[in-house]
């Protein structure tokens, strides 16, 4: 087995959650930066990271890193990378994305063009051919420039990891599956406690919670670009990872996970999404406005992504809506409530200052994860063991 540096991008502000996930998978963390975690692993790690990680956006195989302040330096740095060890001569390869921050080279299109030319020159020499048919497997690349340091990586995943495959129907402002998982992991919720989302939309929060409770790996039913990289990753490793994931699934569990929404049509869509995820029997969905939210049980968790008012016509409704959320939290006086929103007047309209507040970037949108903490449930008495 080879040893690789593996890069896992994530949402800004949630690096600590992804770091813990990678540790739990058994891999050594090499570096934590804004929006990504780098760890060490072999071919099996590339596969298992795609199948099991809930909060990573994708998995990248680092091919090289160097400084470049000119296009000549970029060309030479790319040409020094042993591409023949990564890419076969019939591969289709291209720069899928180039980004630059605080660097002298900043044009994505120029960076993409130079990188491709340098790769071709290197592979002409190593493969001893002048023309590449590009009829084989796809090998997309991603290039990051940060303060003139160029990081070059092969995209192992392909379509982003947030696309689990179950969400074909979405609401007006859906939260991504990876972000929902990360926010749930920031709470102390466990499957023996109540979980409720009063603005469930397409059901992402309840579905991700149910998948966690049932130990369903998020990538076990989807495909990845690197499944065709048989020169790098033995095909059997993918099947082994899926079999490992299947052995962990526990569908025969008792949980109390609920999702409400005022829109009956979107509630029906959430049920369909949950069915595709294999957790519809673990979630109770219901059409209900937040103004009628109540629950007889204590010590539950309210985790939600309420409307932000991104549309002008919705902004006028936000004060009343967030007042209703505050009243609901008041009725659930032993519960903890967690809201991710960009609405700036959240605490004032809810009528309570959050116990914790965390800045989270949802794409380019700056949001805050407001945490209103309730009391801890009393400890259960353990049975006395006979001595």
**In this predicted model, which residue has the larger pLDDT, 131 or 156?**
156
Measure CA 86 to chain center: 26
Q: Lowest-pLDDT range, 116-120, 310-314, 336-340?
A: 310-314
227: confidence class by pLDDT, cuts 50, 70, 90: very high
Q: How far apart are CA 295 and CA 300, in angstroms?
A: 9
pLDDT greater than 50 at residue 386: no
Position 168 confidence tier, pLDDT thresholds 50, 70, 90:
confident
Cα-trace Rg, the chain? 24
Q: With CA atoms as reference, report the closest residue to 363 among 169, 178, 228.
A: 178
pLDDT at 382: 55
For the chain, the residue count is 387
Residue-wise pLDDT for 7-32, tens only, equals 999 999 999 999 999 999 999 999 99
pLDDT recorded at residue 172:
60
Tokens 């291209």 locate to 94
pLDDT at 374 over 80: yes
What is the structure's pLDDT at 60?
Answer: 98
Kindly report the pTM of this predicted structure. Answer: 0.94
Whether the CB-CB separation of 357 and 8 falls below 8 Å is answered with no
3-state SS of the chain? CCCEEEEEECCCCCHHHHHHHHHHHCCEEEEEECCEEEEEECHHHHHHHHHHCCCCCCCEEEEEEEECCCHHHHHHHHHHCCHHHCCCCCCEEEEEEEEEECCCCCCHHHHHHHHHHHHHHHHHHHHCCCCCCCCCCEEEEEEEEECCEEEEEEECCCCCCCCCCCCCCCCCCCCCHHHHHHHHHHCCCCCCCCEEECCCCCCHHHHHHHHHHCCCCCCCCCCCHHHHCCCCCCCHHHHHHHHHHHHHCCCCCCCCEEEEECCHHHHHHHHHHHHHHCCHHHEEEEECCHHHCCCCCCCCEEEECCCCCCCHHHHCCHHHHHHHHHHHHHHCCCCEEEEEECCCCHHHHHCCCCCEEEEEEECCEEEEEEEECCCCCCCCCCCCCCC
The count of C-alpha atoms lying within 13 angstroms of the C-alpha of 231, restricted to the half-sphere facing its C-beta, is: 13
Nearest to 308 by CA among 339, 354, 267: 339
Q: Taking a C-beta distance cutoff of 8 angstroms, is the pair 267, 273 a contact? A: no
Residue 154, pLDDT above cutoff 60: yes
CB 138 within 8 A of CB 104: no
Local confidence band at 315 (pLDDT 50, 70, 90 cut-offs):
confident
Report the pLDDT value the prediction gives residue 354, as an integer from 0 to 100.
98
Share of the chain above pLDDT 70, in %: 96
Average pLDDT over residues 296-316: 84
């Amino acid at each position: 087995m080879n040893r690789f540096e593996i890069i896992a991008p994530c949402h800004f502000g949630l690096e600590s959650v992804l770091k813990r996930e990678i540790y739990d998978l058994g891999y050594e963390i090499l570096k934590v930066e804004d929006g990504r975690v780098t760890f060490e692993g072999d071919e099996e790690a590339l596969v298992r990271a795609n199948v099991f990680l809930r909060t990573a956006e994708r998995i990248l195989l680092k091919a090289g890193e160097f400084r470049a302040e000119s296009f000549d330096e970029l060309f030479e740095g790319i040409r020094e990378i042993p591409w023949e060890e990564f890419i076969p001569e019939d591969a289709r390869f291209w720069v899928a994305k180039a980004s630059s921050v605080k660097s002298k080279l900043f044009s994505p299109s120029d960076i993409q063009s130079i990188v491709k030319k340098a790769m071709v020159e290197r592979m002409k020499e190593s493969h001893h051919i002048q023309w590449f048919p590009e009829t084989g497997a796809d090998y997309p690349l991603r290039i990051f420039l940060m303060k003139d340091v160029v990081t070059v990586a092969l995209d192992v995943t392909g379509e982003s990891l947030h696309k689990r495959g179950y969400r074909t129907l979405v609401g007006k402002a859906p939260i991504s599956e990876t972000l929902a998982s990360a926010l749930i992991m920031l709470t102390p919720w466990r499957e023996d406690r109540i979980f409720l989302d009063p603005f469930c939309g397409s059901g992402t929060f309840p579905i991700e919670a149910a998948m966690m409770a049932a130990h369903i790996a998020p990538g076990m039913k989807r495909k990845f670009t690197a499944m065709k990289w048989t020169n790098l990753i033995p095909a059997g490793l993918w099947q082994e990872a899926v079999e490992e994931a299947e052995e962990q699934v526990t569908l025969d569990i008792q949980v109390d996970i609920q999702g409400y929404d005022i829109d009956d049509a979107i509630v029906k869509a959430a049920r369909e999404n949950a069915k595709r995820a294999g957790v519809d029997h673990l979630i109770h969905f219901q059409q209900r406005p937040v103004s009628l939210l109540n629950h007889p049980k204590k010590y539950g968790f309210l985790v939600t992504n309420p409307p932000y008012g991104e549309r002008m016509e919705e902004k006028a409704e936000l004060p009343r809506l967030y007042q209703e959320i505050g009243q609901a939290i008041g009725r659930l006086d032993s519960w903890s409530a967690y809201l991710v929103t960009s609405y700036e007047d959240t605490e004032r309209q809810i009528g309570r200052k959050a116990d914790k507040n965390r800045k989270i970037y949802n794409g380019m949108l700056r949001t805050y994860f407001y945490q209103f903490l309730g009391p801890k449930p009393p400890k259960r008495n353990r049975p006395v063991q006979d001595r």
